Amino acid sequence: MSLPPLSVVVVARNEARRLPALLADLAAGSALVREVLVVDGDSGDRTAAAARLAGAQVLWEPPSRGRQLARGVDASSATWLLLLHADVRLPAGWQHQVGAVLGRQDVPAPGRREEAWCFPLAIEGRSAALRLVERGVALRSRWRQLPYGDQGLLLPRRLYEASGGIAPLPLMEDLDFVLRLRTRARIRCLPEAVTVNGRRWHQRGVWATTLANARLRRAWRRGVPPEALAAIYGQTAP
């Protein structure tokens, strides 16, 4: 059975060291992937060169995860989308998990809700505290259907468009989109986790990072502009 084509959009900024590993992961699914678009947010390193070397299409956008993701989707052409951050690693055999989703009926039967998919989250490091964070994220993802942006998002283009697309926000673009998406679709978790870079957790401390993230989300819900939140986030980034 022929599977629908997949466009992978990767948002990146100063990830020349980690991006090649993700692009190597994606190469294992070349039978599924029509195109890989890396949207570089004005990197000061060789992120763009690393992407081109791996055969990805490179686009440029001022640093803003929402604007970068939206630009990549607008430039893509496949009927399915996989949205990723550049510092994640995909699980071994990810292409089989994604292929199983793409192999389902492309248009849901009448009366059945559409579906979008995310990966579970794993954070680099051996700390027991990180395992607790991962469990909390799993509960948030499965029961509240609120995955983080760095868990990736797999969905058909028509559902992306029907949900209003990614807003051009510098921060909280993932929460903003998922809140709209879950009114139209059930967000399900794939079997295996993506592994995210643990540098922020290790340098700031697990609980300090968890608390800071919670405060940012609370401030956004209370109406603090995303630009102000992005400035705070940038000040605390490693």
pLDDT tens by residue, 43-67:
999 999 999 999 999 999 999 999 9
pTM, full prediction: 0.92
Q: Would you say residue 135 lies in a domain?
A: yes
Q: Would you say residue 211 lies in a domain?
A: no
Q: Would you say residue 230 lies in a domain?
A: no
Q: What is the mean pLDDT of residues 218-238?
A: 73
Task: Show the 3-state SS of 142-189.
Answer: HHCCCCCHHHCEEEEHHHHHHCCCCCCCCCCHHHHHHHHHCCCEEEEE
What whole-number distance in Å separates Cα of residue 144 and Cα of residue 142? 6
Q: Would you say residue 39 lies in a domain?
A: yes
CATH code, domain carrying 189: 3.90.550.10
Q: Which domain holds residue 51?
A: 6-197
Q: What is the mean pLDDT of residues 2-8?
A: 87
* CA end-to-end distance (rounded Å), the chain: 46
Q: How many domains does the chain have?
A: 1
What whole-number distance in Å separates Cα of residue 97 and Cα of residue 191? 7
Q: Would you say residue 224 lies in a domain?
A: no
pLDDT at position 153, please? 97
Q: Would you say residue 225 lies in a domain?
A: no
Q: Would you say residue 146 lies in a domain?
A: yes
Per DSSP, the three-state class of 20 is helix
Q: Would you say residue 152 lies in a domain?
A: yes
Q: What is the mean pLDDT of residues 113-123?
A: 94
pLDDT at position 238, please? 36
